[in-house]
């Protein structure tokens, strides 16, 4: 597709269950980012993939969160044993190269609600 695609767009899950959120970046983009936006809050950096480099995982809030990027394209963010405080919009973004003034394109987000 033409833009960054995320799925599911909405997910309601029970506390304690695992969830997987998927991101399809724009074809050819080497940089991929995951952010979290809680209700009324700013954008919290989670993880950043750049080409074949080791990802920057410094923003992952706990070891229940992990992400991978297969073949330099699709990325999956996994949240294990979900908690209510994990409820947020999870935004994926990609750019041709990391930062450096390249336009960074955001997906529409995956709205996660943990009940």
Partner 1 sequence: GEDVEQSLFLSVREGDSSVINCTYTDSSSTYLYWYKQEPGAGLQLLTYIFSNMDMKQDQRLTVLLNKKDKHLSLRIADTQTGDSAIYFCAETNQGGKLIFGQGTELSVKP
Nearer to partner 1, 16 or 38 (CB): 38
Total of chain residues touching partner 1, rule CB under 8 A? 23
Site for partner 1 (CB under 8 A): which residue of 19, 23, 26, 31?
A: 31
Give CA–CA dist 53/78, Å, rounded: 20
- Rule CB under 8 A: is residue 38 a binding residue for partner 1? no
- Rule CB under 8 A: is residue 8 a binding residue for partner 1? no
Nearer to partner 1, 80 or 104 (CB): 104
- Rule CB under 8 A: is residue 35 a binding residue for partner 1? yes
- Rule CB under 8 A: is residue 50 a binding residue for partner 1? yes
The string of DSSP letters for the chain reads --S-EEE-SEEEE-TT--EEEEEEPPTT--EEEEEEE-TT--EEEEEEEETTSPPB-TT--STTEEEEEGGGS-EEEEE-S--GGG-EEEEEEEESSSSTT---EE---EEEEE-
| Residues that bind partner 1 in the complex, under the rule CB under 8 A | 31, 33, 35, 41-43, 45, 48, 50, 56, 91, 93, 97-101, 103-104, 106-109
């Amino acid at each position: 597709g033409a833009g960054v695609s995320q799925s599911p767009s909405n997910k309601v899950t029970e506390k304690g269950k695992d969830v997987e959120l998927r991101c399809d970046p724009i074809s050819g983009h080497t940089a991929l980012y995951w952010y979290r936006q809680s209700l009324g809050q700013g954008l919290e950096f989670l993880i950043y993939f750049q080409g074949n480099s080791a990802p920057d995982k410094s923003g992952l809030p706990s070891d229940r969160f992990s992400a991978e990027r297969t073949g330099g394209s699709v990325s999956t963010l996994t949240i294990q044993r979900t908690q209510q405080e994990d409820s947020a919009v999870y935004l994926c973004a990609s750019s041709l190269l990391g930062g450096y003034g390249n336009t960074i394109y955001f997906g529409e987000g995956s709205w996660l609600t943990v009940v």
